[in-house]
Structure 1
Amino acid sequence: MRRRRIYEGKAKVLFEGPEPGTLVQYFKDDATAYNAQKKGVITGKGVLNNRISEFFMLRLAEIGIPTHFVRRLNMREQLVRQVEIIPLEVVVRNVAAGSFCERFKTEEGTALPRSIVEYYLKNDELGDPLVTEEHITAFGWAATQDLDDMLHLALRINDFLSGLLMGVGLKLVDFKLEFGRLWDEEEQMRIVLADEISPDSCRLWDLKTNEKLDKDRFRRDLGSVAEAYQEVARRLGVLPEAGPVDLQGPKVVQ
């Protein structure tokens, strides 16, 4: 069956959904880093991220976090509600890593005094720059109430996921969230969690050894990238039964 492609990003493709107001989110094996300057393929990444993100979205829904997730459809696809994506990346940092260390000359692995929330404009041409609440409200990317909702949700998600991951021996160093506006039948708008939560969008370290089990293995050429993603899925109890054998998934329909 041919499906209309709505949008293609670096790691996912969105297709028209089976009913109005829905989309099918397809997870690719493609990997990018440094604003797509570095590109590669991590075999089976799409399958693993689909399972991992489903797990997190379902757990978050259980504690009342509104999300765009409806259900997983198959190895590489999930059904999601169509939302108006707010053009911001909300990054929650618990431990100094990545660009934070470069900006503040902080040693990687330093625990931060408290969780720090940062906003980045989703704009590849500009390199996804760090922006302030003043920029966001002045340029109309989000209203003050939207920001309040996003901040509240981001901190709740951080608290919940930090505890959940600690329980399986993982440290949530930092992570990126995206949010969207969803309208109900009464035209009431609410902010919901969108996109994905996976080792592509989180820094996850082993609690005891600080071994990196996320996309930094690809960014920094550390090797064993697919194995790291598999280890996260294994600890969460969602490693596909087929294992690495059937990780190619179905062909993307153009």
Structure 2
Amino acid sequence: MEKKELLYEGKAKKIWSTEDANLVISEFKDDLTAFNGEKKSSEAGKGALNNKISTELFKLLADNKIPTHFVEMLDDNHMLHKKADVILIEVIVRNIATGSLSRNLGIEDGKVLPFTLVEFDYKNDDLGDPKLNDQHALILGLVDYQDELDKLRRMARQVNDVLKPYFATKGLNLVDFKLEFGKDADGNIILIDEISPDNCRFWDAETGEKMDKDRFRQGLGGLKVAYEEVLNRILNK
């Protein structure tokens, strides 16, 4: 399968068409962005690490009957996957309070939440990805029915039910993560995008060390080493 036409370029990936109208190729970039693109940099090899991590996690989710767009990893920086119509809702899943949740609501950073919190953000860079409630999502036409919002929440919790205990066996706490969904050619809602330290927060279970993009956001350094450690823990089953 070869890249044909560039369909889209985002902060972390380029999307290319293929000879199959239902399949596209994601090219994982080494670019780093934070704070809605205000902070930018690049880290050689970051894209390949995210591709490899996402590949392993999409396979894990497929083994647990969660539908995703993943087909196969083509090489270090390229993934073949189903084409999907993106639902413009970022689904945030939180197990431990940190980041914007702590800033906005005053919940102590690092506090384990009494239950898994699922939030919606509007996927719109110009507006700064604001918070959504169900009525907002329906008014904006981001989904057609309330049932679709319920399904997004349900699927997000299913992903968490797989990944949280899985990472616990790797000595990592899955603090929170962002998911994106789309509709395939048959109109089915499937998980898309990536699952990597770019959109997940991982804390070492023993030391609390941050093993994700917060190392870039907070100027901690050592981002690539942290991503490599996450991949190593995944591969050492």
TM range (shorter): over 0.9
Query: Which amino acid in 2 is paired with 1:214?
Result: D
Return 5+ residue gaps in structure 1 as ranges: 239-254
CA distance in 2: counterparts of 1:113 and 1:223, whole angstroms: 32
Alignment of 1:127-206 (within 5 A): 127-142=128-143, 143-184=145-186, 189-206=187-204
The answer for the alignment partner of 1:90 in structure 2 is 91
Cα deviation, residue 152, structure 1: 0.8
Query: Which amino acid in 2 is paired with 1:48?
Result: L
CA distance in 1: counterparts of 2:210 and 2:71, whole angstroms: 30
CA distance in 1: counterparts of 2:19 and 2:48, whole angstroms: 21
1:209 aligns with 2:203: no
Task: Report the secondary structure of 1:171's partner residue.
Answer: strand
**Larger relative contact order, structure 1 or 2 (CA cutoff 8 Å, min sep 6):** 1
The answer for the alignment partner of 2:72 in structure 1 is 71
Aligned Cα root-mean-square deviation (Å): 1.1
Q: 1:144 to 1:44 in 2, by over 3 A?
A: same
The answer for the alignment partner of 2:235 in structure 1 is 237
4+ aligned runs moved over 3 Å, structure 1: none
Q: 1:67 to 1:2 in 2, by over 3 A?
A: closer
CA distance in 1: counterparts of 2:89 and 2:140, whole angstroms: 12
1:20 aligns with 2:27: no
Give CA deviations for 1:71-120 in whole Å, capped at 9, x if unaligned.
Answer: 00001001010000000100000000111110011221111111000000
Task: Report the secondary structure of 1:73's partner residue.
Answer: strand
Query: Which amino acid in 2 is paired with 1:148?
Result: D
Cα deviation, residue 2, structure 1: 6.7
Task: Report the secondary structure of 2:25's partner residue.
Answer: strand
CA distance in 1: counterparts of 2:131 and 2:44, whole angstroms: 31
Return 5+ residue gaps in structure 2 as ranges: none
The answer for the alignment partner of 1:105 in structure 2 is 106
Task: Report the secondary structure of 1:198's partner residue.
Answer: coil
CA distance in 2: counterparts of 1:89 and 1:8, whole angstroms: 18
CA distance in 1: counterparts of 2:229 and 2:29, whole angstroms: 19
Alpha-carbon contact 2:171-2:205 (below 8 Å) kept: yes
Q: Identity of aligned pairs, percent?
A: 44
Alignment of 1:114-133 (within 5 A): 114-133=115-134
Q: How many residues align?
A: 234
Cα deviation, residue 20, structure 1: 1.6
Cα deviation, residue 16, structure 1: 0.6
